[in-house]
């Protein structure tokens, strides 16, 4: 159970830090902004990895 909690926190960390930096509670708005930031960040990281592997 502890491992799953750490994995969840690791995946949500970028969005949580960005919303905190903007002065927004990460749990407000049902986490929509945090989810948006996480999606953008992890998509960019994933695409960078794909481009590095393919090229």
- Structural domain harbouring 47: 2-54
How many domains does one find in the chain? Answer: 1
Report the C-alpha gap between 44 and 50 in whole angstroms: 10
pTM: 0.74
pLDDT (mean) for 17-27: 86
pLDDT per position as a tens digit, 32-50? 888 899 999 999 999 999 9
**Cα dihedral 43, 33, 35, 31 in deg (nearest 10):** 170
Assess contact for 38 and 32: CB atoms under 8 A: no
Amino acid 28: pLDDT? 79
Amino acid 31: pLDDT? 78
Q: Check whether 30 has a pLDDT greater than 70.
A: no
Assess contact for 33 and 14: CB atoms under 8 A: no
């Amino acid at each position: 159970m502890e491992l799953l909690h750490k994995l969840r926190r690791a995946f949500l960390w970028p969005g949580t830090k960005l919303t905190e930096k903007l002065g927004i509670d990460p749990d407000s708005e049902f986490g929509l902004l945090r989810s948006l930031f996480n999606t953008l960040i992890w998509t960019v990281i994933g695409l960078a990895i794909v481009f590095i592997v393919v090229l």
